Structure 1
């Protein structure tokens, strides 16, 4: 008699007895006991049917659970609460099943990445490995920049489609903004939930809690003591790539020997290599950018589960521009600083200017400098005057940058507080502008005089000969970021705004400059 491949809609008690829905995909009984791959998701376990079949065919059990209060699970979902306790309760139940060999692998991306780490922290003796893909570890860490500025568009989209409900509302964001493209222009930001067309009581609390609000996920010290091997997967165009790299460097770091770890970062957005195509925006990355993540995960797990998950470290990183993969024991590789100085005439050069100067622009919150999607050609923004740009001569030789660039910004404002948005771009020989890295600074939070040292996002990129480097300074990135109002009012509760005059200074010594971690990769793998 054949055995069904999945036991659907099982009920497993959470930490307080609340019934939570689970699907269990099992390989044939003659293969038992087997390790179990575990996903806990707020986005509907039925979306993992094909995934469950894949794990089953490869000799693993696959267990996927709707988190508390979502889809078929009882209770009320409060994001980032109850996940540690409910994850521990599921682990304890799994370890008692006749098909379990006692080895658990926590697996997930985005919010399910958080639940994977939360379960691993609660049951470190049972969780042998974590497969973490762009983990969203807390509202304060996902909905705000490292500078503390609210990621307005992301917050609106996620809350519209995901939060304050038992099920997701797929496609609602595109539907709403197609009809009302200027919705995010409304002030105050705190009241936007009343205008988005959905009942969203949790919208404002995230803003009140702010970027420093603590979630129940593992603290950094706890992460460093986790004994599980870990596979960290991310995308250069995903806003959560910072979390991927921090977890790669932190997880298990306090243990000797350290658990096995691996890093894979490709030219992908939040959907990673599961999204179709090889292009992000206007930038093409070639067929090498599409890899079989499922086969990679299975191969890695087979190795670390067999060897006990100790000792190895490997990184596989796609270098934008070469469209090739680089491999090594860790990332970033050794690098030396290549400093490019801003000059009064708008040039960016390896040598500092002989004389100082100032470049000015006006910042008008009523007409903020606009955002662009990742990978999109930014050259159409050249006509805007609310930015200062410094551009190099065409490069004679290609340069490879791996790590985090830094912008030292010497700038002042007429406003009580302002934002500085700094962006490093490649200007191609045919005139397209491609952002390579960016960052933001809120002077209202830093409250320190300049010059400001602003660390940009991580990159692995080769800029070819013939292209030029560009450093751009603006004061908004709207609607990606909630705009500064140019007044003493808080950006999320205020309604009054004022035009500010912004000044960027160039100097022979310690002036505005771009510091690039330049490396010489050995010949990368194809």
Structure 2
């Protein structure tokens, strides 16, 4: 087993490192970057991350140079137990009070004017929410990017609930690589062997130590107390710029945060959305070849604008929603008073053609209903609503007679994930046409569009499914099919169903998008039972996915036609 260990990078010559003491005596390695010259006291940007404050992966010295050139002080800290910081390596549980104590230290320095903002991606977006939960009065604004308060949370069904999120492989692999010890450990897990947990034990033996975070989550997760001071949503609201990527594999957690914020008037008044055509690693759909350091203005410019208003009190107004329409040829940010745009409408497509769907592309048909509705009216932003009489008739007419489409899910030969690194999806941006020809993938393709179709908002899929197995995963992907047959991902959703039986109604949230489907292109919907190894496949036996030693193929099905057939609800701009 090959294990590559990456320790801390060299200290930045532009920073001064301090060991900042927390309330329990543990000291955290903290870099301070100051603007050039004797500029006195001013506002500070704080970033707390587990990826090495001077490492190449997150290029914090260059980020700090961008902020300091614009007059900000920047503090970058290795979180507890990582790289140069002391303490136990344990993800999530120490970030709230460590964030408070770090901010408290900042405001006591002579270069601080007592005003603090926080910025960062992914885990260092989570550390912002953790700090907010402690209600430090100096924290005045934050910019959490591609993150969420439930980031990395293992899917655990609530009592009596028969559906939950599908387990991502990164859920348990993250504490084996980024939170095993102080360093980053890179290694490959053989996803074809059973049980998967045996390979983890071999990894522990090779490293010579165990991961406390993994052991807390395996085989059954202990609920980690992420926010010991209380939910961040119960804390006093601060202005928050939520940056969400259309292709970010962690976006569902951030959209869940958005739904929580809009329910709370204080937070709703202080939330600003920046919706970009990016993946988790900040690759842009408009310029997939640009390196992160070549796109610092796009990456950091909106944060500076936001902090100028809310930390410095500069004149200016931040729009409530700014968003990009991917694939439009125009990377500029559009402005809206709300999301989805108030003028958007909902259009429903129905799937039909069971025999063709189980064959090669184009498969069955994907047909739009003729009557659009105001966005959200029939439940596009939440659960799919019950169809009215006119809808039922239209669905039955468009989808033809009720029928059942079947496929076999086999965890020993699962439908493969289309990219090697789902966090950097747009770096690969694969053509997914070949997957549609697999016998274990149902495919439905619409007619070529006669004019562009602008998707702008949530996408939901409702269906009635079944399986002869004890559990079932359902994966849905919405694709843009070009005239040459190339198929590119627009949006996706997935769910685990416990004891599905012969007919279980399910609603899949395929997330949100801003995307133009050009004239001459077509929409395609695919349904499958796996997406491995990005998601750990169901073994077919009902056993724990990491402990199952054998797999059993399951026959799965979905209804087509009629009011409980497959319906895809998309939010679109009128006139497109």
| Superposition pairs of residues 428-439 of structure 1, within 5 angstroms | 428-439=482-493
Q: Deviations over 1:428-487 (max 9, x none)?
A: 111011121111121117889522121212211121221111111111111111111122
Report the equivalent of 1:399: 453
TM-score (norm: length of structure 1): 0.86
Mapped partners of 2:513, 2:263: distance in 1: 23
SS in 1 for 2:399: coil
Q: CA deviation at 1:386?
A: 0.7
What is residue 264 of structure 2 aligned with on the other side?
254
Matched, 1:148 2:165: yes
Contact 1:38–1:63 under 8 Å retained in 2: yes
Cα separation, 1, equivalents of 2:183 and 2:506: 44
Q: Which SS does the other structure have where 1:405 is aligned?
A: strand
**Partners in 1 of 2:156 and 2:433 — Cα distance?**
27
Please name the residue that 1:180 is paired with: none
What is the alpha-carbon distance in structure 1 between the residues aligned to residue 285 and residue 478 of structure 2?
Answer: 27
Partner of 2:377: none
For 2:301, the equivalent position in structure 1 comes to 295
Residue 231 to residue 433, structure 1, CA distance change in 2 (3 Å): same
Displacement after TM superposition at 1:313 (Å):
4.4
Which has the higher mean CA deviation after the structures are superposed, 456-465 or 45-54?
45-54
1:364 corresponds to 2:410: yes
Q: Are residues 252 and 457 of structure 1, via their aligned partners in 2, closer, same or farther at CA, if it must alter by over 3 Å? A: closer
* C-alpha distance in 2 between matches for 1:311 and 1:86: 32
Name 1:190's counterpart in structure 2. Answer: 197
Residue matched to 1:238: 248
Find the counterpart in structure 1 of residue 388 from structure 2.
none
For the residues of structure 1 that align with 2:469 and 2:113, how far apart are their CA atoms?
63
> Do the aligned partners of residues 369 and 413 (structure 1) sit closer, same or farther apart at CA in structure 2, a change above 3 Å counting?
same
> In the TM superposition, what whole-angstrom CA distance separates every residue of 1:64-99 from its partner, at most 9, and x where no partner exists?
111112121111121112111111111122211122
Which residue of structure 2 lines up, in the alignment, with residue 92 of structure 1? Answer: 104
Measured in 2, the distance between the counterparts of 1:129 and 1:66 equals 21
8 Å contact 2:246–2:275 — kept in the other structure? yes
1:322 paired with 2:332, answer: no
1:15 matched to 2:23? The reply is yes
The equivalent of 2:182 in structure 1 is: 166
User: In structure 1, what is the equivalent of residue 69 of structure 2?
Assistant: 57
Residue 457 of structure 1 pairs with residue 457 of structure 2: no
1:115 to 108, 127, 143: 127
Q: 1:261 to 1:503 in 2, by over 3 A?
A: closer
Say whether 1:223 aligns with 2:229. Answer: no
Task: State the SS of the aligned residue for 1:279.
Answer: coil
User: Is 1:268–2:275 an aligned residue pair?
Assistant: no
Distance in 2, Cα, partners of 1:31 & 1:259: 33
Deviation (angstroms), 1:261: 3.5
Alignment RMSD: 3.3
Q: Counterpart of 2:382?
A: none
CA distance in 2, matches of 1:148, 1:53: 40
Alignment check: 8 A CA contact 1:315 1:329 kept? yes
Q: Specify which of 515, 525, 530 is matched with residue 471 of structure 1.
A: 525
Decide whether aligned partners of structure 1 residues 22 and 111 sit closer, same or farther in structure 2, where only a CA change above 3 A counts.
Answer: same
Shift of 1:185: 1.5
Task: Pick from 91, 103, 121 the counterpart of residue 79 of structure 1.
Answer: 91
Q: 1:326 to 1:59 in 2, by over 3 A?
A: same
Identify the residue that residue 386 of structure 2 maps to in structure 1.
Answer: none
Higher mean C-alpha displacement, 388-397 vs 327-336 = 327-336
> Cα–Cα, structure 1 residues 7 and 360, in superposed 2: closer, same or farther, change >3 Å?
closer
Deviations 1:382-408 (A, max 9, x none): 331111111111122222222221111
One of 497, 507, 513 as aligned partner of 2:551: 497
Instruction: Assess, with a 3 A threshold, how the Cα gap between structure 1 residues 135 and 521 changes in structure 2: closer, same or farther.
Output: farther
The offset of 1:63, in angstroms, is 0.9
* Alpha-carbon separation, structure 1, partners of 2:145 and 2:227: 16
Q: Please state how far the C-alpha of 1:255 moved relative to its aligned partner.
A: 4.7
Please name the residue that 2:476 is paired with.
422
Q: Is the Cα–Cα contact under 8 Å of residues 470 and 540 in structure 2 kept in the other structure? A: yes
Aligned to 2:164, the other structure's residue is in SS state coil
Shift of 1:301: 1.1
In structure 1, how many angstroms separate the alpha carbons of the residues matched to 2:215 and 2:503? 31
For each residue in 1:289-309, what CA deviation from the matched residue of structure 2 results, as whole angstroms up to 9, or x when unmatched? Answer: 995322322122112224499
Find the counterpart in structure 2 of residue 46 from structure 1. Answer: 54
Report the CA distance between 1:490 and its aligned residue: 2.7
Mean Cα displacement is larger for which, 496-505 or 472-481?
496-505
Instruction: Count how many residue pairs are aligned between Structure 1 and Structure 2.
Output: 501
Separation (CA, whole Å) in 1 of partners of 2:149 and 2:534:
20
Write the distance in 2 (CA, Å) between the matches of 1:92 and 1:252: 29
Structure 1 unaligned spans of 5+:
178-182
Q: Does 1:486 align with 2:498?
A: no
Query: What residue ranges of structure 2 are gaps of 5+ in the alignment?
Result: 1-11, 158-162, 357-363, 370-397, 420-424
Q: Give the 3 Å change call, closer, same or farther, for CA 251–408 of structure 1 in structure 2.
A: closer
When normalised by structure 2's length, the TM-score is 0.79
Contact in 2 for aligned 1:138/1:215 (Cα 8 Å)? no
CA distance in 2, matches of 1:40, 1:447: 46
